[in-house]
């Protein structure tokens, strides 16, 4: 499908390679979350797809303890990154922070950090503090989309359909398990129990009988102190890739057909048993509806740059429900986000180029806005001008 046929258009700005010096791209990956391995695989795919004539990849790796590696170690890890999460090399960090960021020795930061301490607004906040352009959503949208509870509450407030759920804090569960159990029993069985701030289906359990709720919550609390208990929908799993722009572009939808009972971490990254259908076998009306919902969710949560919107197609009534929004979707060789955009007229190298262009454009726009806001204060203080030179 040609890009012009996709719903919405990308931002009309120059591409990164037009008459511009080669850009130094800080590729930040690894990290402290349970999705460390997936991040490394994604980063390897991104590095391979960035045109070396336009971009110089500057790998920056964070180990599982949150330590940043030396430049030499980062290059070693990136070179050894396999195509599967069980082929990821060990990462040995030794630094509190890669000082090349502090010294602004890069032109743009591309965080490929899935899950907490990366996808949740933390690395985005660091880039804001250092006045560095970065790809993807900003601090607020990253934090919101990482938190399933906040996401679902905002979707519900905006009138967008989403599965019913109960938010359970670990302290609340420890203090009053009976009360929590009563609240959860308002949902129909089966239910899914998930860590609230994690992705890649890590720590998820399917509960068919209420006797299994406690064990499922304990698994979820092993990853996060906030859990979500969500009604199980007999549904097809549909995904839409959204690429930021004016207006954003919504891809053709894809469908995930699990090879196991549900689409868990093993099914996603290890077993190769699931089917990823691109495009999804939907009729024209369903395609239009699901893309509209994806764009509505993207806007409601304040997303920019990119996001993958995961939805359910309820097999009981044929209605779509928004399940989750991923601010840094997978970029592995099998990931749906780049596949769907390629199907919609934006091949992988062009996708990365657009994400970088969007980051640079947003950064310039926000700097001008910040300078304009500060100027009256500076003038009152007796300074003639403010702003970076």
What domains can be seen in the chain, in order of their start residue?
Answer: 3-135 (3.40.50.20), 164-231 (3.30.1490.20)
Return the H-helix or E-strand segment holding 334.
none
DSSP annotation of 188 reads P
* 94 has pLDDT over 50: yes
Catalytic residue among 33, 35, 199, 304: 35
Residue 326 annotated among the catalytic residues of the structure? yes
296 belongs to the catalytic site? no
The values of phi and psi at residue 51, to 5°, are -65, 120
Least confident residue range of 104-113, 154-163, 295-304, 329-338: 329-338
* Residue of 138, 310, 350, 357 marked active site: 310
pLDDT band at 16 (very low <50, low <70, confident <90, very high): low
Q: How many CA atoms lie within 13 A of 207 on its CB side?
A: 28
Catalytic residue among 201, 251, 326, 335: 326
Contacts of 23 (CB under 8 A, 6+ apart): 16, 54, 55, 56, 107, 108, 356
Residue 200 catalytic? yes
Percent of the chain with pLDDT over 70: 84
Neighbours of 161 (CB within 10 A): 14
Residue 158 to residue 289: CA distance in whole angstroms: 16
Residues 359 and 243: their CA atoms lie apart, in Å, by 12
CA dist., res. 51 & res. 53, Å (int): 5
| Rounded Cα–Cα distance for residues 204 and 262 (Å) | 10
Q: Is a pLDDT exceeding 60 seen at residue 12?
A: no
Q: Which of 12-16, 108-112, 223-227 has the weakest average pLDDT? A: 12-16
Q: Where are the alpha helices (DSSP H) in 116-188?
A: 122-130, 139-146, 148-157, 170-175, 177-184
Spatial separation of the C-alpha atoms in residues 227 and 104, rounded to whole Å? 38
Q: Tell me if residue 223 is catalytic.
A: no
Q: Decide which of 4 and 355 is more confident.
A: 355
Q: What does pLDDT average to over the chain?
A: 88
pLDDT bin (cut points 50, 70, 90) of residue 332 is: confident
Average pLDDT over residues 333-339: 89
Judge whether 310 counts as a catalytic residue. yes
Distances in Å between the Cα of 246 and the Cα atoms of 11, 325, 362 are 5, 20, 12
In the set 239, 267, 324, 357, the catalytic residue is 324
d(CA 126, CA 97): 11
Name the active-site residue from 136, 244, 254, 330. 330
What's the number of CA atoms in the CB half-sphere (13 Å) around residue 309?
A: 35
Active site residue: 308, 339, 354, 362, which one?
308
Which residue is catalytic, options 39, 142, 147, 200? 200
Nearest-angstrom CA–CA distance, 29 and 33: 11
Q: Give pTM, 2 decimals.
A: 0.85
Q: Answer yes or no: 35 catalytic.
A: yes
Whole-angstrom Cα Rg for the chain:
21
Spatial separation of the C-alpha atoms in residues 208 and 52, rounded to whole Å: 51
């Amino acid at each position: 499908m040609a890009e012009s046929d996709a719903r919405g258009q990308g931002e009309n700005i120059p591409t990164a390679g037009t008459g511009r010096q080669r850009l130094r791209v800080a590729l930040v990956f690894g990290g402290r979350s349970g999705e460390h391995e997936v991040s490394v695989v994604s980063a390897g795919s991104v590095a391979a797809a960035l045109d070396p004539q336009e971009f110089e990849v500057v790998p920056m790796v964070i180990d599982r303890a949150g330590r940043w590696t030396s430049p030499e170690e980062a290059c070693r890890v990136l070179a050894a990154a396999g195509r599967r999460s069980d082929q990821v090399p060990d990462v040995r960090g030794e630094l509190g922070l890669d000082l090349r960021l502090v010294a602004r020795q890069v032109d743009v930061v591309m965080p490929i950090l899935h899950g907490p301490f990366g996808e949740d607004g933390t690395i985005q906040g660091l880039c804001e503090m250092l006045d560095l352009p970065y790809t993807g959503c900003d601090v607020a949208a990253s934090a919101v989309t990482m938190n399933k509870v906040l996401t679902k509450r905002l979707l519900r407030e905006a009138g967008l359909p989403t599965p019913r759920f109960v938010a359970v804090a670990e302290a609340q569960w420890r203090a009053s398990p009976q009360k929590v159990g009563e609240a959860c029993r308002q949902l129909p069985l089966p239910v899914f129990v998930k860590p609230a701030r994690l992705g890649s289906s890590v720590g998820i359990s399917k509960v068919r009988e209420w006797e299994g709720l406690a064990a499922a919550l304990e698994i979820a609390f092993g990853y996060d102190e906030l859990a979500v208990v969500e009604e199980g929908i007999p549904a097809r799993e549909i995904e839409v890739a959204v690429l930021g722009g004016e207006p954003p572009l919504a891809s053709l939808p894809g469908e995930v057909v699990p090879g196991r009972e549900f689409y868990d971490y093993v099914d996603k990254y290890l077993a190769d048993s699931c089917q990823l259908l691109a495009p999804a076998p939907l009729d024209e009306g369903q395609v239009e509806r699901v893309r509209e919902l994806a764009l509505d969710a993207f806007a409601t949560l304040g997303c920019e740059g990119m996001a993958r919107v995961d939805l359910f197609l309820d097999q009981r009534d044929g209605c779509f429900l928004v399940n989750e929004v991923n601010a840094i979707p997978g970029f592995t060789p099998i990931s749906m986000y780049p596949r769907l955009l390629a199907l919609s007229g934006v091949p992988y190298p062009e996708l990365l180029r657009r994400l970088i262009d969007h980051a640079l454009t947003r950064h310039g726009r926000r700097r001008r806005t910040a300078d304009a806001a500060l100027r009256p204060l500076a003038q009152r203080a007796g300074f003639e001008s403010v702003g970076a030179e």
